[in-house]
Amino acid sequence: MTELSRIRNFSIVAHIDHGKSTLADRLIQSTNTVSEREMKEQLLDAMDIERERGITIKANTVRIEYIADDGELYVLNLIDTPGHVDFAYEVSRSMRAVEGSLLVVDSTQGVEAQTLANVYQAIEADHEIVPVLNKIDLPAADCERVAEQIEDVIGIDASDALRVSAKSGIGIKETLEAIVTRLPAPGGDAAAPLKAMLVDSWYDAYLGVVVLIRVMDGVIRKGDRIVMMGTGGKYPVERLGVFRPAMQNVDELGPGEIGFFTASIKQVRDTRVGDTITHEKKGADKPLPGFKPSVPVVFCGLFPVDSAEFEDLRSAIEKLALNDASFSYEMETSAALGFGFRCGFLGLLHLEVIRDRLEREYDIELITTAPSVVYHLFMKDGSQTELHNPADMPDPSIVSHVEEPRIKATIMVPDEYLGDVLKLCQDRRGIQLDLTYAGSRAMVVYDLPLNEVVFDFYDRLKSVTKGYASFDYQMEGYREDNLVKMQILVNDEPVDALSMMVHRDRAEMRGRAMCEKLKDLIPRHMFKIPIQAAIGGKVIARETLSAMRKDVTAKCYGGDATRKKKLLEKQKAGKKKMRQFGKVEIPQEAFISALKMDE
């Protein structure tokens, strides 16, 4: 057990691509935690998709031992956190497990939207914050300007900010010294009853569920019987250890230490993040303050392209859900797409990551329906329900009003693109809350409907600002608006996979775009096919796909014109009958393209 004054627990917070994972690599490398042979870039990003996209998705932890200038040996526990808005819950819980943060800011880019979001979480968790200016070896680096920006925008003193280049190893020694001298040691009492916070858990094929904990008070030893205060589950501790990034077994973990245990727990669902772990006998009286559980905000249907792969998809989704407690799913069926799952995600990137992992790790081709959000329906009889899938919307005559989720979006953008960004937000039914400047960059705060953001807002924002804008959001609650369900009818049959909730003022535009698109995507048949967008019983847009025609008058030469007329009338009657009984085949590609709306 390490003495409390010799422990430092910290996390690294930053915007995407500001060099968090690289700095973590250098700290690990310079303290010889990992041998040169095992060292690789983005050491803590274990998933293929993390390495490929260059983003961190899961918060990872490592224990580093460092001999400081005063000759003492310190134990540093580092948690490398994601920088992306969809994984903010990973950040929030990592923050509660540590006492300080290194705030990494790219000295060429300055403060970005996610820098703000993550640093506010650190301030909320009452952290000591050490600013680090990274990438100082680049010619475009401007440390004075960025330090000023940190003071203006975030309001923390950056006069003694560390100047580092994580890539080339400049300033790493000073960073380690700053961690030891400027960050506080953890508190805790080894004699008190055990209180350990469950920071994370994941499934390992050999060990069962591995649980990452931060011990607050007391000592946990191998062989102890523990109880989870939130779920009431009781388990014997089988293995206890720390991450150096590889697992290393220890006999006990004391206050202030971060480590893991296994206890033959079968399912990740049994371990709730933020739960308090204590001894079965002589345990703690009340649990630690927990986190808010993560609530899915974006829903979409996942269907296999080949319906025979449904069982494979089921087992793949079950395996993924073992490791990601924030991902929820239930089975659904669709007339057009067959059997599949309705899944809930924390945001669009989370959706993309899950979809990529399913396609890649389990080799299943998927169709994703249009993402939708959760609406609150208030009925005329006073009852209230939640609507996850627009196809399930009840008859409008019994609904009194609909509320949709709103978000507070913070956008940091260079001055010259400000007009385009304001126009984009107005087009998406946004309400401007604030506009301030930090140097040559504007910080715009908007109240936006989440429904408009999940579609393609992020892509549009990137394209109108040539990639220079950064965007972050948080949920703000629900508000009533004039929303209606728009459905698409092909040959008078509704296509459930294409129904969506839209604002009444924009329904006609949305419907027309969808009909025009489907007209190009559906192959022609022997009969005329009407493609309509409708709200309730009222058609608001229509396109007609003309029929393929056989020339029935080819064999008529000479004679009376009535002969031709007779043959054409006969053909017309046949087409009418065909349209009545004919079935329209809509190819899978048409669905996939139609759902990618605003390209």
Q: Known binder of ligand: residue 528? A: no
Q: What is the mean pLDDT of residues 249-268?
A: 83
Q: Is the pLDDT of residue 556 over 60?
A: yes
C-alpha 573/C-alpha 583 separation (Å) is 17
Residue labelled with tokens 């043959």: 567
**Quick one: pLDDT at residue 37?**
55
- In this structure, are residues 244 and 215 in contact, taking their beta carbons and an 8 Å threshold? no
- Say whether 11 counts as a known binding-site residue: no
21 is in an annotated binding site: yes
Structure tokens at 300: 């979409």
> What is the residue extent of each domain of the chain?
4-182, 195-279, 298-369, 376-481, 485-595
Bridge partners of residue 66, in order along the sequence: 74
What's the confidence (pLDDT) of residue 38? 54
The model's confidence at residue 582, banded by pLDDT at 50, 70 and 90, is low
pLDDT tens per residue across span 374-386: 888 888 888 888 8
Q: Strands, E, within 415-559: which ranges?
A: 431-438, 441-449, 470-481, 483-490, 493-494, 500-503, 529-535, 538-545
Residue 136 is assigned to a ligand binding site: yes
Q: Is the confidence at residue 387, as pLDDT, over 50?
A: yes
Domain 195-279, CATH: 2.40.30.10
Instruction: Tell me the pLDDT band of 255, cut-offs 50, 70 and 90.
Output: confident
Instruction: Consult the annotation and say whether 18 binds a ligand.
Output: yes
Whole-number Å distance between alpha carbons of 529 and 545:
5
195-279 and 376-481 agree in CATH topology: no
pLDDT at 443 over 70: yes
135 is known to lie in a ligand binding site: yes
**Three-state secondary structure readout of 426-442:** HHCCCEEEEEEEECCEE
As assigned by CATH, the class of the 376-481 domain is alpha beta
Question: Please, are residues 197 and 263 in contact by the beta-carbon 8 Å criterion?
Answer: no
- Which CATH code fits 485-595? 3.30.70.2570
Is 17 assigned to a binding site?
A: yes
pLDDT at 587: 66
pLDDT digits (tens, 9 = 90+) for 329-372: 888 887 667 788 888 887 777 787 788 888 888 888 887 777 77
pLDDT of residue 599: 41
CATH architecture label of 4-182? 3-Layer(aba) Sandwich (3.40)
Mean pLDDT of 391-403: 82
**What mean pLDDT do residues 515-540 have?**
84
Is 134 one of the annotated binding-site residues? yes
Chain segment 128-187, per-residue pLDDT in tens: 888 888 888 888 778 788 888 888 777 787 777 888 887 787 888 888 888 888 888 888
| pLDDT tier at 45, thresholds 50, 70, 90 | very low
Q: How far apart are CA 507 and CA 588, in angstroms?
A: 25
Which pLDDT belongs to residue 598? Answer: 47
> In the CATH hierarchy, which top-level class contains the domain 298-369?
alpha beta
Helix axes 172-182, 20-30, angle to 10 degrees: 90
